[in-house]
Structure 1
Amino acid sequence: MALLETRKYSQGSALSGVNPDLASERQTPSFSVEKLTALLDGGEENTRIRRAVVEAIENDPVFSRENQYFQSQNEKYEAAVRKAVHLQKKMHEMGWTENGPEFKYIYSALSGEIAFLLHSVFMRSISMLGSDKQVAKWIPLATQYQLIGCYAQTELGHGTYLQGLETTAVFDVATQEFILNTPKISAIKWWPGDMGRSATHTVVFAQLYVQGKCYGVHPFIVQIRSLWDHSLCPGVTAGDIGPRMNFEHTDNGYLMLQNVRVPRENMLSKFCEVQPDGTYVRQGSQQINYFTMTAVRITLISYEAVIPLMKACTIAIRYSVVRRQSKLKPGEEEAKILDFQTQQEKLLPHVAAAYAFHFINDYLQDLFNRGYEEIQRENFDMLPELHAFSSGFKAMVTQHCASAVKVCLLACGGHGYSLLSGLPSLCTKILASCIYEGENTILFLQTARFLIKCFMAASAGHPVPPSVTYLAAVKPGKCPAKNKLDFLSPDIYTNAYQHAAVRLISSAAAKLQDLIQSGVKKHDAWNECTVQLVQAVKAHCHYLTVKNFVETVERLETKGGIQRIMKHLCDLFALHGIFSNTGAFLHDGYISGAQMDMVTASYLDLLAVIRKDAVPLVDAFDFTDKTLNSALGSYDGQVYQRLYEWAQKSPTNTQMNPAYERYLKPLLHKKLAKL
């Protein structure tokens, strides 16, 4: 254990020893922390590989995050580029490859603070949407960084609504080229990472026009900077979009195109192609051009939402057993704030949610892999379900995690507001995830279209995808729970979630049908139902997350105490959802008022049970101190010493005060003369 502890909190600090209040929390866990870490990693071998990657990166001074809270935007950008360039050398040195088992851990080990992240999306777009010939040409160049790619989709005037994009690509049969333009200010590409100062090439999404006819949005490879001197190419205007809430290390950029010509071969053409004579040929659905987005959404659930939530929970839980404030009992010392039920109720449900979302992300990744295999065989049947799932779960998980990280910050009181706590940067990072790769409300409504279609099909006795077969199995009746312990039965609460989801989906579908039958136009009827449709999608996603958590727990081995603690977390996640959304469950009397009191009692009882394992549960996330980069969340719990030590590093404490000579001195000396 001593070696593990040293590895966790070695931070180049003079501090030593673990805070006794934190150490006491680790003495009697009800489960094996190491086994739980291995479960989260998908096996002991994966844990070993991940730790080796983290260690190699953290021991390399080029990747140091020390003093980053004091850096300017330019300094953060330069550091991110330096790390990205050095990473190529590091990967070669360590024998890591893009297809190797280590690769997926690199981003987490670097905490995402590295340039060229959109380069991987550029490559993924070409791999998924490019022809064999295009893949053979562009992927080796991109892999060897003979070019730097990014992904230009979002515009000033349009983001998630891709059909509304205004950038155009007109095919010129005479020259066999596409002419790309951003014809108005709202068409300027805006926000792409790596575009402001770094990228040489980009995948541009534009409306395809052939002989005057529009064929919708398609992807094109466009060179925007010279490979020789990095100057902008003719017809290209690009730059950084200016200060933002986070992502100072990323040169989020803008792009204007004026009659920029690219050869016909630069339209990604695995599924859609313009032939030399101008004939347009397409395989499968137009939606296939958005498939990169589906892949990115599923990836970001883990890296941009679940991992930041795990980090925030780790910081807040550890701080909450070190921070003592007020007295629970007269005459005793001040209590650990995690011993207060209100603090437990703030934080522990979010620890449970972090586990629930980790497991649903595994489920989604598996679904995506199966869908991708089918698409490779040119079977597009799973595309609607994949699109709906990636949209709905991206929206639900990021929204929940953004709210949860804010709670973690507030739960740390005043110190949570210090950048040195690590929480503000997590908060702003996760908040952004609610908007990029699809704004959440629009994504909920895209999933709603899929659910309404499936509900109508199920009602008519037609087959529907496996994930929504429950829509046909409506079980009338009431919740059979007789006492509070009954609500610790997965069948009881899973059926309650299923009932609420079916009720909300069927209710929204009925309202939609009634409006249409009464003569309201379809699009107007849809708009009048959107608030209820969003509620229905949230209920659907929440139900599937609970169901998946239950099924995951059932598959676990009983040894090591893992299944027991996961069952407690699953119960807590489910009951917190009912406790927080009482209206959805009380609405039609499926759960009675008396039963809701039972839910509350069981929920509050669970807080006290899980409280005992709170620190081991976040320790199992296995973040090193350097990864957390938090004065409040370090493994040793030396919070106050570290806050003071880090504050001394602020450049303002060693620089001449620029305001003194100009403002303070005249002000003070004027008063002194009178004295």
Structure 2
Amino acid sequence: MSSSSKPNLPVTNAVNGPPNADLVRERGAASFPVRDLTYLVYGGQERTEHLERIANMVASDPVFRKTDRFFLSRTEQYRRSLEKVRHYKELIAKHNLHSELDQQDLRQAIDEDLPIGLHVGMFIPTIVGQGTDEQQKKWLPLARAYKIIGTYAQTELGHGSFIRGLETVATYDKSTQEFVLNSPTLTATKWWPGALGKTSTHCVVFARLVISDRECGVHPFMVQLRSLENHEPLKGITVGDIGPKFAYETMDNGFLRFDHVRIPRDHMLMRFAQVAADGTYSTPPHSKVSYATMVFMRAYIIGTASSTLAKAVTIAVRYSCVRKQFPLRSGEPEQQILNYQNQQAALFPLLATAYAFHFTGNYIRQMYSDFVRGMRAQDFSVLPEMHATSAGLKSLTTWIASAGIETCRASCGGHGYSKLSGLPSLYANYIPACTYEGDNTVMCFQLARYLLKLYGKAQAKPGLRLPGNVSYLEKSTLLDERCDASTEELWLDPARQLHAYRNRALRLVANCANRLVAEMQKGKDEVLAVEAIKSDMVKVAKAHSYYVVLNNFVNAIEQLRASGTSTPILRVLKTLCDLFALHFIQADLGDFLEYGYLSSLHTEPLHAQIRRLLEAIRPDAVALVDAFNFTDHALGSALGVHNGRVYETLFEWAQQEPLNKTQVAPGYHEYIKPFLLAKM
């Protein structure tokens, strides 16, 4: 056979054959109506069916196919993403999907990091949140009609989380009523914004405002980057792609430099801070109001932690029911690997966490909506709480989801290492969430500062009333209380679970506050004293955020119970909530043992109850991941296909590998054949 001939590989034609018998049996054993749980997750039957129509439309559209992505170069993937953007725009018109919610649903169904992500996720929300009415009338119609494509440029080569350290300068020129944008140093180069490299025509740029040599802080400016005629960069603008990344091959993350670029005065977004024609500067009502868009993105990230982790768990659980390894006894059939306790212990807490994060996502979205309503009325009283809470939850959820995806990949054994499993790409594309919109460790510091401040106020003023999620900081007597869950059954009491999480959080806050005082008594000023306790501050933020997640899960179940949700649904959600609560106590057992809150009297029944919960979830595991209702397109995984034909799908997808187009590999004649045929 010539090297140009295709290999003689078997054609399975079996990907769409009958479903795997084990998965069929698993689905038939569910203790609850799966469809009802799906309706609960997605907001009701009507909403679910609407999402399904869009998801099925995308899944059946060849333009949106995903299986080719494994075999494309980076440039080809970017070009394919542009094709999908164009088709996305065509579908909006064809199917009358003009509402923001419909378009969001369509993008989620496409399930790819398209170069319009920041356009809709940050560029437009920044105009809405920080532009005046006149600025919104000018730019929103253009942005929503995709007559301009925008991005959001805050991060620089030299600075990310430390926003006050940004070096890009916008100097006001009173003589022309213009701002002059300049990148005075190499480290002032904007670096990382998605769609900046090649796609965007416009950008919201965050820069230090300077008026008559006076620094006025960091503010957002609307800047046109490229010609709308030929897409060439405008004068004074240097822009391009930052090069290869760990993932995100479809996204043109870019760099941007300004060489004294002039923009009109009304291109500064002035809803809260204004610069008059004569250079008079009016300060914003709150020092952190310009962070509103970042808070919006954090709320979005917290919400997506659930769906991303749910995808990984869906793949791993389905595969673990199809995959069989080792008989328990000689001569017996091999076992589904999900029957092994270690596999359950790896996957079921993540399944519970995906549901916990779902309810936390609902909570943070409602909190953000309340914040926006207040902001429009010039009420910024909830901003400190919103900023701190979203910072802590963003950190916790993305850390757990990232680690969870990797756990799911490892749980799939060798096949999990294949890109065709979908898990390596899911992991690589998700882990930047631990860094963008606020580095997680820095976010923990922000929440911890907030908690320490409130704790100090509560100590100084007994009887002070604090908001719900931090009200435990008022209760110093909680530190003297100990766990009384001495039986397995008592560990299933939500009040006892929450008591443990509150006690741990308060104990860590109190210890952190005491350490801060001790460091200052050594002669350190407050800045150096805080620096000495930052490891403790991360633990404080995590502990509080765990409590918020559990509290929301417990409250959600109680609200569902009050609204008449069926007993089977309530039972399975309660089991998941119990596993979430007990698993993360077990995972951080040292925190609870160190100060005597728990003893061996409590830990033995704790471990035993966790084992019981794993057993209780096992018959419902497939049904619980099915309730997330992901299409095969959304999962993009040979291992997670709904029909369970894992091996057939894996084999067929492998045939698309370009190396398989010929029997003789490229380079064989030049490099391998000479030494194979060389004389000994």
With the length of structure 2 as denominator, give the TM-score of the two structures: 0.95
Q: Deviations over 1:460-513 (max 9, x none)?
A: 233433321121124222112231111011111110111000000111011112
CA shift, 1:43, in A, is: 1.3
Going from structure 1 to structure 2, the CA distance change for 1:44 and 1:132 (only over 3 Å counts) comes to: same
CA contact (8 A) 2:484 2:602 kept: no
Secondary structure of 2:295's counterpart equals helix
Secondary structure of 2:400's counterpart equals helix
Query: Is it true that 1:579 corresponds to 2:586 in the alignment?
Result: yes
Aligned to 2:426: 426
Residues in 2 aligned to 1:56 and 1:15: alpha-carbon distance in whole angstroms: 19
CA contact (8 A) 2:123 2:204 kept: yes
Where do residues 506-585 of structure 1 align in structure 2 (5 Å cutoff)? 506-556=510-560, 557-559=564-566, 561-585=568-592
Residues in 2 aligned to 1:72 and 1:549: alpha-carbon distance in whole angstroms: 43
Residues in 2 aligned to 1:558 and 1:234: alpha-carbon distance in whole angstroms: 61
Secondary structure of 1:225's counterpart equals coil
Aligned to 1:202: 203
Query: Is it true that 1:651 corresponds to 2:655 in the alignment?
Result: no
Where do residues 460-539 of structure 1 align in structure 2 (5 Å cutoff)? 460-461=461-462, 462-474=464-476, 475=478, 476-539=480-543
Paired residue type of 1:286: S
- Worse-superposed segment, 50-59 or 266-275: 50-59
Aligned to 2:449: 449
Going from structure 1 to structure 2, the CA distance change for 1:14 and 1:522 (only over 3 Å counts) comes to: closer
Where do residues 379-458 of structure 1 align in structure 2 (5 Å cutoff)? 379-458=379-458
Aligned to 1:629: 636
Residues in 1 aligned to 2:330 and 2:116: alpha-carbon distance in whole angstroms: 57
- Worse-superposed segment, 11-20 or 510-519: 11-20
Q: Deviations over 1:165-191 (max 9, x none)?
A: 111111111111111111111111011
Paired residue type of 1:665: K
CA shift, 1:580, in A, is: 0.5
Query: Is it true that 1:124 corresponds to 2:125 in the alignment?
Result: yes
Aligned to 1:353: 353
Aligned to 2:255: 254
Paired residue type of 2:415: H
Where do residues 590-601 of structure 1 align in structure 2 (5 Å cutoff)? 590-601=597-608
CA contact (8 A) 1:32 1:560 kept: no
CA contact (8 A) 1:391 1:446 kept: yes
CA shift, 1:12, in A, is: 9.5
Secondary structure of 1:585's counterpart equals helix
Residues in 1 aligned to 2:125 and 2:104: alpha-carbon distance in whole angstroms: 14
CA contact (8 A) 2:150 2:204 kept: yes
Aligned to 2:169: 168
Structure 2 counterpart of 1:602, from 606, 609, 614: 609
Query: Is it true that 1:618 corresponds to 2:625 in the alignment?
Result: yes
CA contact (8 A) 2:14 2:648 kept: no
Paired residue type of 1:183: P
Secondary structure of 2:90's counterpart equals helix
Going from structure 1 to structure 2, the CA distance change for 1:380 and 1:13 (only over 3 Å counts) comes to: farther
Secondary structure of 2:17's counterpart equals coil
Q: Which runs of 4+ in 1 moved over 4 A?
A: 11-14
Q: Deviations over 1:66-105 (max 9, x none)?
A: 3111111111111111111221110111111233x42332
CA contact (8 A) 1:167 1:206 kept: yes
CA shift, 1:287, in A, is: 0.4
Structure 1 unmatched ranges of 5 or more: 1-10
Residues in 2 aligned to 1:510 and 1:65: alpha-carbon distance in whole angstroms: 54
Residues in 2 aligned to 1:78 and 1:72: alpha-carbon distance in whole angstroms: 10
Residues in 2 aligned to 1:217 and 1:428: alpha-carbon distance in whole angstroms: 32
Residues in 1 aligned to 2:95 and 2:608: alpha-carbon distance in whole angstroms: 53
CA shift, 1:558, in A, is: 4.6
Q: Deviations over 1:283-332 (max 9, x none)?
A: 311200111000011112223x2211110000000000111111223331
Residues in 1 aligned to 2:94 and 2:256: alpha-carbon distance in whole angstroms: 36
Q: Deviations over 1:147-178 (max 9, x none)?
A: 11011111111111111111111111111111
CA contact (8 A) 2:298 2:437 kept: yes
CA contact (8 A) 1:458 1:469 kept: no
Aligned to 1:108: 108
CA shift, 1:112, in A, is: 2.7
CA shift, 1:392, in A, is: 0.6
Aligned to 1:86: 87
Q: Deviations over 1:19-62 (max 9, x none)?
A: 11111111120111001011110211110111111122222222
Residues in 2 aligned to 1:242 and 1:645: alpha-carbon distance in whole angstroms: 32
Where do residues 181-196 of structure 1 align in structure 2 (5 Å cutoff)? 181-196=182-197
Paired residue type of 1:591: L
Residues in 2 aligned to 1:15 and 1:55: alpha-carbon distance in whole angstroms: 16
Paired residue type of 2:615: A
Structure 2 counterpart of 1:665, from 649, 656, 673: 673
Paired residue type of 2:653: W
Aligned to 1:211: 212
Aligned to 1:58: 59
Q: Deviations over 1:94-121 (max 9, x none)?
A: 111233x423322221113322111111
Residues in 2 aligned to 1:465 and 1:457: alpha-carbon distance in whole angstroms: 13
Residues in 2 aligned to 1:330 and 1:393: alpha-carbon distance in whole angstroms: 49
Secondary structure of 2:500's counterpart equals helix
Q: Deviations over 1:315-353 (max 9, x none)?
A: 000000111111223331111111110000000000000
Secondary structure of 1:262's counterpart equals strand
Q: Deviations over 1:515-563 (max 9, x none)?
A: 2233211110001011011101100000111111111112223526100
Residues in 2 aligned to 1:342 and 1:216: alpha-carbon distance in whole angstroms: 53
Aligned to 1:4: none
Aligned to 2:152: 151
Secondary structure of 1:179's counterpart equals strand
CA contact (8 A) 1:83 1:115 kept: no
CA contact (8 A) 1:395 1:443 kept: yes
CA shift, 1:213, in A, is: 0.7
Going from structure 1 to structure 2, the CA distance change for 1:13 and 1:306 (only over 3 Å counts) comes to: farther
Secondary structure of 1:467's counterpart equals helix
Paired residue type of 1:628: L
Query: Is it true that 1:47 corresponds to 2:51 in the alignment?
Result: no
CA shift, 1:666, in A, is: 0.9
Q: Deviations over 1:353-400 (max 9, x none)?
A: 000001011001111101110000000101111111111100000001
CA contact (8 A) 2:632 2:642 kept: yes
CA shift, 1:567, in A, is: 0.3
Residues in 2 aligned to 1:478 and 1:406: alpha-carbon distance in whole angstroms: 35
CA shift, 1:13, in A, is: 6.5
Residues in 1 aligned to 2:51 and 2:606: alpha-carbon distance in whole angstroms: 39
CA shift, 1:444, in A, is: 0.6
Residues in 2 aligned to 1:391 and 1:200: alpha-carbon distance in whole angstroms: 31
